């Protein structure tokens, strides 16, 4: 009977630790901001900026009019 109580206590402790571990993982995840804008990368200089502020040409994004006119730089 004593062995049964020990096993029950070990299983209960394991379940408790597992739930605590899972809760800590979920607590560390940051919620996604619904107002966040998708970011794009300038094809010329590589700077990331919000898509609504970027200029586009042929499915490429640029941060300024000057970079749009220069075009994309080849990546190594």
Alpha-carbon gap, residue 69 to 65, rounded angstroms:
6
Name the pLDDT band for 76 (thresholds 50, 70, 90): low
Residue 5: both structure tokens together:
């109580």
Residue pLDDT, tens place only, 12-62: 999 999 999 888 877 777 677 788 889 999 999 999 999 999 999 988 999
Alpha-carbon gap, residue 42 to 76, rounded angstroms:
15
Would the pTM of this model clear 0.75, i.e. be above it? no
Contact (CB, 8 A) for 47 and 39: no
Residue with tokens 């794009």: 40
């Amino acid at each position: 009977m004593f062995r049964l109580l020990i096993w029950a206590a070990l299983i209960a402790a394991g379940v408790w630790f597992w739930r605590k571990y899972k809760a800590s993982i979920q607590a560390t995840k940051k919620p996604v901001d619904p107002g966040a804008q998708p970011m794009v990368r300038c094809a010329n200089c590589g700077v990331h900026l919000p898509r609504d502020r970027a200029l586009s040409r042929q499915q490429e994004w640029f941060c300024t009019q000057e970079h749009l006119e220069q075009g994309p730089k080849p990546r190594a």
